[in-house]
Amino acid sequence: MHDLKAIRDNPDAFDAGLARRGLAPRAGEILALDREARKYTQVLNELQTRRNAASKAIGQAKAKSDEAEAKRLMAEVESIKGQLPAAEAEQKRYLEQLNALLAELPNLPAPDVPDGADEAANVELRRWGEPKEIAGAKEHFEIGEALGQMDFETAAAMSGARFVLLKGQLARLERALANFMLDLHTGAFGYEEVVPPLLVRDGAVFGTGQLPKFALDLFGTNKTQVFSDSTSRSTESKRSEAESKTEVQVRESVTAVLKSDLWLIPTAEVPLTNIVREKILDADDLPLRFTAWTPCFRSEAGAAGKDTRGMIRLHQFSKVELVSVTTPETSDEEHERMTECAEEALKRLGLPFRTMVLCAGDMGFSARKTYDIEVWLPGQGRYREISSCSNCGDFQARRMKARFRAKGDKQTRCVHTLNGSGLAVGRTLVAILENYQQPDGSVVVPEALVPYMGGVERIEKT
């Protein structure tokens, strides 16, 4: 969410930021709605002041036995009461339009973010490792299927396209990767491990910016759960009771229906960032750093028709997420630190990568600056994104009402939030298969993962 005062103070700068995102000017529309909302706020304040004054004067008139004046004042109070609902309705209408407009506009790019409309304008910052050139290199799905441990057909029969079933050592490799990453980020870098909910309410996904604009990119629930009038009894008791009734009688015993509308998390960024939702933090406790390994669910995975084969774009995948909550003064430094933490995971796995700074037109909705880390995939012969580390500034904090107070300060300020992949587990598995593939079809396990694989040094066909 944007700072309305900042837009009032410098509408041209706001529109210039939107233009860098490839969007039309909106400051004029925002300020027009703001003026109308403030006008009715003033009308309400004036009406309430008049009502309070008239109510007080009624008592004074009655004390003087001035019945005529008291009657006139009472009529005035009734008239004001009649005007209040209309003014309140108009104020609400303009505020809702204003908030809806602000909620759909992305964060503004940081000044040092390069201009550009798409990924072609992204700028490479650095590289690590030499890209491997492997004669006859295969893609990960060819390797996994040949090993007999990566099954897309069975997954599709159960769940449809863009799902995978991993078995044997590849299933263990995914678990090993997640444990390796969690140990690295908690042990070496001081992140606090969290096991968060995978289902969240509207407010949580609004807070991090997925709602309302990207509702179609999410998986939601709308499940009806039925409870009988004997919910307090034991399962065995209910079973025996049900067996003694006809089917119709059992149905008649149903007295409560609970509807639950929740969202499956698209990334652990959502629950981890919302840990500080509607809280006032102590500046001395910042930064907060959280990490979690969770499944992630995204219905947009195949929207562009890209990567229809393999594990690059799935509706369900796992990721080790990094989230930081810090002060405005330290968020840029925290952003660099977070990116280096993600890079270190790739270094320890011996996977060549490059780090890119995204241009203004290629950043995510909530980001003010983003670094993408791209790993080398010999099977594809190119770099592919494996981590995206973003500084969101105070954008998410305003939506979540997350603030902090420095010692001695009366005023609170919005925190800055950051998030990044540390790393995407499935894509890291892909990178290992392609970078460590052997001519005989086996895959060498990176040295850092051998302890997590129970000493297994090579994955071979089962």
**Given its phi and psi angles, is residue 125 left (phi above 0), alpha (psi -120 to 50 degrees) or beta?**
alpha
Query: Is residue 222 part of an annotated ligand binding site?
Result: no
pLDDT (0 to 100) of residue 240: 45
Query: Is residue 224 part of an annotated ligand binding site?
Result: no
Query: Is residue 52 part of an annotated ligand binding site?
Result: no
Query: Is residue 142 part of an annotated ligand binding site?
Result: no
Query: Is residue 7 part of an annotated ligand binding site?
Result: no
pLDDT (0 to 100) of residue 58: 85
Q: Which residues are marked as active site?
A: 298, 313, 385, 388, 427
Domains and CATH numbers, the chain: 4-104 (1.10.287.40), 119-221+260-459 (3.30.930.10)
Query: Is residue 269 part of an annotated ligand binding site?
Result: yes
User: Mean pLDDT in runs of 10 for the chain (462 residues)?
Assistant: 96 98 98 97 92 86 82 87 93 96 97 97 98 94 98 97 97 98 98 98 96 92 53 43 42 40 96 98 98 94 70 96 98 98 98 98 98 98 98 98 95 98 98 98 98 98 86
- Quote the CA–CA distance of 178 and 320 in Å, as a whole number: 7
Query: Is residue 208 part of an annotated ligand binding site?
Result: no
Query: Is residue 298 part of an annotated ligand binding site?
Result: yes
Query: Is residue 234 part of an annotated ligand binding site?
Result: no
Query: Is residue 326 part of an annotated ligand binding site?
Result: no
Query: Is residue 268 part of an annotated ligand binding site?
Result: yes
Instruction: Pull the structure tokens for residue 352.
Output: 């060549």
pLDDT (0 to 100) of residue 451: 98
Query: Is residue 398 part of an annotated ligand binding site?
Result: no
pTM attached to this predicted model: 0.88
